[in-house]
Amino acid sequence: DVKVTQSSRYLVKRTGEKVFLECVQDMDHENMFWYRQDPGLGLRLIYFSYDVKMKEKGDIPEGYSVSREKKERFSLILESASTNQTSMYLCASSVVSYEQYFGPGTRLTVT
């Protein structure tokens, strides 16, 4: 079974803090993705990576950055957290043009 794990299930941070969300997959997938999931808005792609050190912006990259130093790990960074970044964050991985495998999600609250 493909395993995609995320470092935290729940996270509470203060406005202005730098936040790191970590994602690890164990199936040697080339592609990794970060989404945020909000009621009524569905899944919105923040960033994706198709190889180590390679990244591309998704639909809503503003306020976020990413890092992929190793194939199995993809980090999402909120440089200065704001309340409008309170959301559920989902990480996923895939082989090119195949189904995505999702992590359990991190519910981030920014106060």
Contacts to other proteins by CB under 8 A? 31, 33, 35, 40-43, 45, 48, 50, 56, 58-59, 90, 92, 96-100, 102-105
* Smallest distance from other proteins to CB 74, Å: 15
Q: In terms of CB distance, is 47 or 81 closer to other proteins?
A: 47
Q: What is the DSSP string of 26-82?
A: SS--SEEEEEEEETTTEEEEEEEEEETTEEEE-S--TTEEEEEEETTEEEEEESS--
* Smallest distance from other proteins to CB 43, Å: 4
